[in-house]
Amino acid sequence: MKKILAFMLSLAMVLSLAACSSGTGTETTAAPETTAAAEETTAAAEETTAAAEETTAAAGETEATGDVDTSAAQGMTVGVCIYKFDDNFMTLYRQELQSYLESEYGANVTIVDGKGDQAEQTNQVQNFITQGVDVLILNLVQASSTEVVANMCKEAGIPAVFINREPDEAEIQRWTDEGIAATYVGADARQSGTFQGEIILETENKGDFNGDGVVSYAMIMGDPENIDAQYRTEYSIKALEDGGMKVEKLFEQRGDWDQTKGQELAANALTQYGDKLEVIFCNNDAMANGAKVAIEAAGRVVGEDIYLVGVDALDETVGYVAEGTVTGTVLNDHVGQSHTAADVAAQMVSGQPVETKYTVDYVKVTQDTASEMAAE
């Protein structure tokens, strides 16, 4: 699996840039919290760390830092807020983020669990401000709270790196207009949705099993308030239409990124629509993994009478793609994103100018691709 991730990550680390900011602070101590979800994914995190090292050797330093002097960031104190610890992707992300911050910058890192509650997370941000951390790295429960949190950081004189959940363009522009020391590091979710649609278009029947000229689908969304969920939902279907296919939405419900909910919703859709249902789109792999269980329980066979796609390229899902029980997924590069977030945070603490937005490309993963990677 190390080779799988190394191969994908070597393709993924392409950065695009946008505008400017900076900041400082004092000291706190650290000991990250852990959960059962974190323990279950520790092995995967260790594998991807090795893959990240191979990628760095091949690709060199990211554009986020280049030759910029970040020596002033050595030993910096970093407060990290994660929207909830039992999200599989964000578990991999936070583990890699902590490891990189500590190894590269000797940082004192404290990571807290927002438990899916924005009010609680806002209090956690205030606690970090009171402690006087040097920089905050923020995976908000609700992207709509970015303005409030950015203002809190501005008033405290602490730079903020928002991750994973993209603020709207007006908010990002406000950082430049008002001189707010904030930036966003993530990926363009429109690309991930487009890749999902393209994976279906690349199948033999383009998602039309019954030959009626229409792709009849179910959509299992993450959180509809989240811009990633919105874009993945919209652009996966747009890709089908742009590819010349007619579509029919049979079912669309929110699964909140959760595997159990993904299984329940897929089971409901399969029961309600039976053989008419040809494709299940899931906004992330956890929900796709749940949908896989529901598909098998319903006596359906992925690749023979239904397709299933997700996003994240979790180790488990990539294995399913290789064996053909999931049609495809899209690599959401937690190593590239977490390293970029850490490097940009170090730049800000060092008083260096940064852009207001950094993005890392997604990569399509299909059965052929996954099988080739596994064979290397």
The two tokens of residue 114 are 């927002």
* Domain count for the chain: 2
CB 140 within 8 A of CB 163: no
User: What is the DSSP code (8-state) at residue 11?
Assistant: H
Distance CA(308)–CA(327), nearest Å, equals 5
Whether the pLDDT of residue 24 is over 50: the answer is: no
- Percent of the residues in the chain that have a pLDDT greater than 90, as a whole number: 78
Domain at 251, CATH number: 3.40.50.2300
CB 116 within 8 A of CB 141: yes
236 and 284 belong to one structural domain: yes
Q: How far is CA 206 from CA 197, 251, 355, in A?
A: 9, 19, 40
Within a domain: 125: yes
CB 208 within 8 A of CB 243: no
Within a domain: 177: yes
pLDDT tens per residue across span 293-321: 999 999 999 999 999 999 999 999 999 99
Q: What is the DSSP string of 66-113?
A: TT---GGGTT-EEEEEES-TT-HHHHHHHHHHHHHHHHHH--EEEEEE
What's the mean pLDDT in 238-251?
98
Q: Which amino acid is at 231?
A: Y
Within a domain: 370: no
Task: Return the pLDDT at 371.
Answer: 78
How many residues are present in the chain? 376
Within a domain: 343: yes
161 and 68 belong to one structural domain: yes
Within a domain: 367: no
61 and 146 belong to one structural domain: yes
Enumerate residues 6+ apart whose C-beta is below 8 A from 121.
81, 83, 112, 114, 140, 141
Task: Return the pLDDT at 40.
Answer: 42
Q: Which amino acid is at 332?
A: N
Domain carrying residue 229: 190-331
173 and 299 belong to one structural domain: no
- Between 259 and 374, name the one with better pLDDT: 259
Q: Is 373 left (phi over 0), alpha (psi -120 to 50) or beta?
A: alpha
Angle made by CA atoms 344, 345, 348, in degrees to the nearest 5:
85
181 and 197 belong to one structural domain: no
Within a domain: 27: yes
pLDDT tens per residue across span 154-178: 999 999 999 999 999 999 999 999 9
pLDDT tens per residue across span 95-147: 999 999 999 999 999 999 999 999 999 999 999 999 999 999 999 999 999 99
SS3 187: coil
Whether the pLDDT of residue 325 is over 70: the answer is: yes
Within a domain: 116: yes
Within a domain: 88: yes
Least confident range from 23-27, 44-48, 78-82, 262-266: namely: 23-27
Which residues are 366's β-sheet partners?
328
| Predicted model pTM | 0.78
Q: List strands edge to edge, sheet with 182-186.
A: 15-17, 357-360, 182-186, 160-163, 135-138, 77-82, 108-113
The two tokens of residue 78 are 């970093």
293 and 167 belong to one structural domain: no
The two tokens of residue 5 are 């991730």
